Amino acid sequence: MKNQTNLTFIQLTFFIIQTQIGVGVLGMPFSVFSVSKGDAWISVLLAGIVVQLLITTLWVLGRRFPAKSLFQYSIQLVGKAGGTCINMSYVFYGMLVTSLILMYSTAIIKTWVLTLTPKWIIMFLLMGTAVYLGRELLSDICNVYVMVSGLIFFLILISVVVLIVYPVDWRYLLPIGHSGAINIFKGIKEAYFSMLGFELLLFLFPYFQHNGERSVLFSASMANLFVTLTYTFLTIVSLITFSPEELVIVPQPVLYYVKSLYLQVVERIDLVFVSLWVVSVITSLTSYLFLSTEGIAHTFKRIKRSVITISIGSLSFIIALFPNKEAEMELYNKWVINTSYLFILVIPLLLLSISFVFKKKERGKSA
């Protein structure tokens, strides 16, 4: 970490943004609408508030050990055996999420662009690019994330054009709250998965703590605010573009309303949209590869990072090959979401409680 002290809070902001915005940007409006109906946008906003509370909790834990990541202070809090078990479980979690992102993004690419291409080739190209980037230092990864983040604004711009030129109907949002509080809160869970990525703050904190602890919280909060507003905007555009009867049968509403655009310069703008979206998929894959690589690197210090990243990427690639049917992918998706609560809420709260009860913390020490 000492050779990366030039990392800035802006790089942290874009790292979290690029991790959070991925596969979910296309299908989240559909999944949330299936539960919350016309109030789906409210569920997305509330999900952003829940994520902000979780970010604050992770920040409180991280600031007690500002020069260390969870892979280091877990051993200090629960012992070598318990800490190693926690560390390896996070490595496994990173692999699971990487595989999930890979299989869903491949399914979308195969449906919209490369219909005749075997899925393993698409997966290999996506994973190969992510591994190539993921084996670099965090500073290099952050620089790439900052550079490609402009593409996200282009994706938003396309949606703004749809909002202007397409015959939308704002009445589809009314009456506000008609789906009921229970369904709105259920929709939070559907939106939650698309916002995953903020949990990497547990491992990024020591790289950016030299900017100040409050700066770390500010960066993560700004990233979450941007992602929440972006997802809310895309959800609203989807809701007012399609009728409730249409939205039920449109699995990727963002792609469908982009496809409806007619521009004389570009015949299939949805293909351009997918091409830009693939970059966000690769950055999400890279972030979770970084998570797993960090865990192995801290546990087995003699293994080269490049070897670790290639190994993790290969295992994630193999896992992603197994689910062939949509039902199998949905089952895997639900299992990963339920498992994520353990790593985002249960374990951090457990470690935070132990640090307070036994008054364990470190400040100002180098990693």
* For residue 206, cis peptide bond before it (omega within 30 degrees of 0): no
Residue 92 has pLDDT above 60, yes or no: yes
Taking the C-alpha atoms of residue 220 and residue 257, their distance in angstroms, rounded to an integer, is 31
Confidence grade of residue 363 (pLDDT, cut at 50, 70, 90): low
Judged on CB neighbours under 10 Å (0-12, 13-18, 19+), 115 is exposed
Q: How far is CA 216 from the centre of its chain?
A: 18
pLDDT value, residue 2 = 45
pLDDT value, residue 5 = 55
The DSSP string of 3-29 is GGTT--HHHHHHHHHHHHSSTHHHHHH
3-state secondary structure of 114: coil
Residue 366 has pLDDT above 70, yes or no: no
Taking the C-alpha atoms of residue 114 and residue 211, their distance in angstroms, rounded to an integer, is 44
With contact defined as beta carbons under 8 Å apart, do 58 and 348 qualify? Answer: yes
Confidence grade of residue 163 (pLDDT, cut at 50, 70, 90): confident
For residue 75, what is the DSSP state?
Answer: H
pLDDT digits (tens, 9 = 90+) for 210-235: 888 899 999 999 999 999 999 999 99
Q: How many beta carbons lie within 10 A of that of residue 229, not counting itself? A: 14
pLDDT digits (tens, 9 = 90+) for 105-159: 999 999 999 999 999 999 999 999 999 999 999 999 999 999 998 888 888 888 8
Taking the C-alpha atoms of residue 311 and residue 62, their distance in angstroms, rounded to an integer, is 28
Amino acid at 73: Y
**C-alpha dihedral sign at 202, 208, 209, 211:** negative
Q: What is the mean pLDDT of residues 302-319?
A: 94
Q: How far is CA 30 from the centre of its chain?
A: 18
With contact defined as beta carbons under 8 Å apart, do 312 and 292 qualify? Answer: yes
Q: What is the mean pLDDT of residues 64-85?
A: 93
Confidence grade of residue 3 (pLDDT, cut at 50, 70, 90): very low
Domains delineated in the chain: 8-357 (1.20.1740.10)
pLDDT digits (tens, 9 = 90+) for 268-294: 788 888 988 999 999 999 999 999 999
Residue among 111, 141, 106, 108 nearest 126 (CA): 106
Q: How far is CA 264 from the centre of its chain?
A: 34
Q: Which of 91-105, 261-275, 349-363 has the lowest mean pLDDT?
A: 261-275
Taking the C-alpha atoms of residue 285 and residue 106, their distance in angstroms, rounded to an integer, is 12
Taking the C-alpha atoms of residue 171 and residue 227, their distance in angstroms, rounded to an integer, is 25
Taking the C-alpha atoms of residue 269 and residue 21, their distance in angstroms, rounded to an integer, is 20
Q: What is the mean pLDDT of residues 65-86?
A: 93
Structure tokens at 7: 């990392």
Taking the C-alpha atoms of residue 102 and residue 307, their distance in angstroms, rounded to an integer, is 20
Taking the C-alpha atoms of residue 302 and residue 325, their distance in angstroms, rounded to an integer, is 40
Q: What is the mean pLDDT of residues 229-246?
A: 93
Q: Which residue has 């979401």 as its token pair?
A: 337
pLDDT digits (tens, 9 = 90+) for 8-61: 999 999 999 999 998 888 889 999 999 999 999 999 999 999 999 999 999 999
pLDDT value, residue 168 = 86
With contact defined as beta carbons under 8 Å apart, do 282 and 133 qualify? Answer: yes
Kindly state the helix (H) or strand (E) to which residue 271 belongs, with its residue range: helix 269-299
Q: What is the mean pLDDT of the chain?
A: 91
